[in-house]
A and B are shown apart, each in its own frame.
Chain A
Amino acid sequence: MATATSTAPDLAWTKRLSSPQELAPYRQALIAGTDPNALCIRVCCGTGCKAVGSLDVLEAMKKAVDAAGVDLKVMPEVKRTGCHGFCSRGPLLTLQPQGLFYQRVKPEDAAEIIQKTSIGGEVIPRFLYKPPDAKETIAKVRDIPFFAKQTKLVLKRVGQIDPFDIRDAIAQGAYAGLVKVLTEMTSQQVIEEIKISRLRGRGGAGFPTGVKWESCASQTGRHYVICNGDEGDPGAFMDASVMEGDPHAVLEGMAIAAYAMGSDRGFMYVRMEYPLAVQTLTAAIRQAEDLGLLGQNILGTDFSFRVSISTGAGAFVCGESSALMSSLEGKVGRPRAKYIRSTEKGFRDSPSNLNNVETYANVPEIILRGGQWYTSYGTERSAGTKVFSLTGNVHNVGLVEVPMGTSLREIVFGIGGGIPNRKQLKAVQTGGPSGGCIPIPSKFIDINVGFGKLAEIGSMMGSGGMIVMDENTCMVEISRYFINFLVEESCGQCTPCREGLTRMREILTRITQGKGREGDIELLEEIGKFTNSFSLCGLGTSAANPVISTIKYFREEYDAHVRDKKCPAGVCKPLYYYEIDPEKCTGCGVCRKRCPAAAIEGEKKKPHTIHQELCIKCMECYRNCKFDSIKIM
């Protein structure tokens, strides 16, 4: 929390805006005060880049600017921003106004960048991005396919602004949507606009947001507006990036929702593992309150809306709506068994509207540009864009925002840059641990990613995690991994989820250990179908999806494990061994030198052999053989 106060500028001197009309002139003044052609170095300080040392780069850049001092005609501004999205290339920065993209920057490079690029106007080739298998480097952000092929609506300000400075966000249009609803729209009109936009919940289930707001607004009693920032899917970090990079988009969306439903109280439920998001949100709420954009009598009107942050305690299941509300109330975070919607009786038994971070972040732009505009993106049933976190065996790991209905091929190959190491794409896992594996190569590579389509083929949209898997991925092991995750994260209340998942983990573990029995696959299917239909909450009723979808599409792999005691992908250690193909081996000796167990023997320029009893199956030889002579048997 100390960092939040130290990096966030104090706005106490700023006059509180006393009417909605005052925001536009304030914004104009902010824009007038900055030169669009000024030098600006945006250092990505999202969680990914922070982990590889971007905060040190930021400090070094600031020092280098100070050191360069008089040599600079214009002092460049070094700005701390949220996630740029291209996480596998961090630490990274962009240089404005040229729009240069520098990747893998180290603190010791700071002086050179300032001297050469900022002062000399020279591009330093070694920091430039080179696409896989390309000869030329690309200098500018807008020319890099990873960025060029995206459509940024939710992430438009993420990476552009300093999340700790509300003025930056306002200069780029934040809170204009809130002003619009306060001056021009009634609650009913706001809900109508959201319904026209066909915005659907981005948390996974895809419930129409406008319909949810309407049903909540129609209830009597005190209304609560709650934001679900408990993003827990392994490998997913969309919401984190929005909260860390542009907290005002979420807060503005919540304020608009509160206005639409007549609420005066909001909660941000953020998972404890996102300390940076808590810092940015804390600073954002304080600054917005200082300026009169949140809190009592917003912009001098009768509308008041107070938001506070509540952190989870590390339970995945608290992303489920009723568990989240239990947790907010200070109770144990377990889902409640109730057939009453939370829009009717939710938090403290009052009508509560719960939406995902990304859903709220979509709202301000819909209000500003109209619901009709929003439907121009995406498909008939799934309007707008969706942020995906692209991870796994893909070149460009990072955050990707594309219109709904974009094909998997475009995401994985167009934006993701394809599969590293000349490997084949095997499957794409979507929807987090409760999602499913989509087999590829198959017709599914051209499937349009949207709510309906993914559900049709046995997977789901989920919150937007997308894990790309290459040919060396064992599908049995993958489903064991996800089931194991869910066993640990199940709340344990209801029998099917608690006992069913435990049994499935037991069976999958024994299959991956080579102790699978005849009938195990059928038993998995039986328990899987049962847990999916008899469980209490959303976690349980989708928990068996990884198992069901992998059995559906990769049954032969299960059969190989159970009957032949073989792991075709070479992952389950007891079920395979490496062998050197004497035809292909040139005797170069790389594998012999690399082998940590000294299990490979052979004379120079003659085929080598592996001593199976010594081999620890670390994959080192397999990965490093240039002649494809090591085979998984």
Chain B
Amino acid sequence: MNIIMDGKEVAADPGQTIIEVARRNGVYIPTLCHVPALEPAAMCRVCTVELAEGRRTRLVTACNYPLRGDAEIHTDTPILRQGRKLLIELLAARCSDSKTLRELAERYGADLDRFPAENKDCIMCGLCARVCERVGGNVLALCGRGVEISVDTSFGRLSPTCIGCAACAQICPVQTIRIEDVEGERRVIVRGKEASRVPLRRCTSCGVHFGPVIDLSQVMKRAGEAGVLAFNTSVCPACSRRNLAKRLAERHLEQYQGDAHTKDEED
């Protein structure tokens, strides 16, 4: 398979997507809705590249286009730069204050104030919904249609199935999902609105809250006994470390004391 990217021949395996090949060969393609761990959704369209097939040139999204044969790809042409610029400008109207967009705007010369601000605080990349589905929570999803589309819980209610894993907050490129641990509860806040409340576990040793209460039957279903063991702790990581250190120290000390004893005897 002969792949030429921006004029240079690059290494690629059949079936790899354009973005995988680009990353492997150090070619920059911007993305807003793609992480390697999740199935690509091609929603943000920022990763659009030009694909030359014979005499025809097509615009395809790099994140989900699988390379199956010879191809020539251009990742940074005037059409693409112009398109990305407009994409960023349009997204900036939804989400005016974002570091990610500011960086991209600088690269592509986009005017962040070109369109009137709508302050929806979300660029609709859908990453939170996809990661939530992947984790198995299915708490957040894309709700509504067209302009009205938004990330929300079922019927906009507090979700009963959230496990409080915080993957959504972690993955959000514009930091619009917040996690607040207060009064023994974890709250997932999406665009200012509470999406779920999950009780936190209290450390039996020091009394600190250290993570959401986990439904062990679900863990059992997915990971079996071994998984349950890993999750079934009643002490916080700090205490757990301290306890381990204590146990180790005691054991070593015992041995040392034992050694000392025999030495004494020898003497």
Contact = CB atoms under 8 A, between A and B. Distances in A.
Interface residues of A, number: 29
A262 interface: no
B44 A495 contact: yes
A534 B59 contact: yes
A394 B30 CA distance: 51
Nearest to B65: A339
B145 A495 contact: no
A527 B86 contact: yes
Nearest to B80: A534
A488 interface: yes
A444 interface: no
What interface size band does chain B fall in?
A: 20 to 34
A498 B146 contact: yes
Interface string A462-500: 000000000000000000000000011111111110111
Interface in A312-335: 315, 332, 334
B146 A534 contact: no
A96 to B, nearest CB: 48
A526 interface: yes
A533 interface: yes
Interface string B74-85: 000001001100
Of the candidates A491, A493, A536, the one having the most CB atoms from chain B within 10 angstroms of its own CB is: A493
A498 B149 contact: yes
B90 A500 contact: yes
A563 interface: no
Contact of A495 (B43, B64, B65, B115): B43
A296 interface: no
Contacts of B86: 500, 526-527, 530
B43 to A, nearest CB: 5
Contact of B147 (A332, A338, A487, A493): A487
Interface in B16-62: 40-46, 48, 59-61
A339 B60 contact: yes
A614 interface: no
A81 interface: no
Nearest to B67: A339
Given A496-B87, A534-B45, A534-B48, A339 B126 contact: no
A536 B142 CA distance: 16
B83 A530 contact: yes
B198 interface: no
A533 B78 CA distance: 14
A498 B147 contact: yes
B199 interface: no
Contact of A503 (B64, B79, B90): B90
B147 A494 contact: no
B45 A499 contact: no
A298 to B, nearest CB: 38
Contacts of B94: 499
8 contacts: A337-B42, A488-B145, A488-B147, A490-B145, A491-B149, A494-B44, A498-B149, A534-B45
Given A337-B40, A499-B94, 6 more contacts: A337-B64, A338-B64, A492-B147, A495-B46, A495-B90, A499-B90
Interface of A: 315, 332, 334, 337-340, 487-496, 498-500, 502-503, 526-527, 530, 533-536
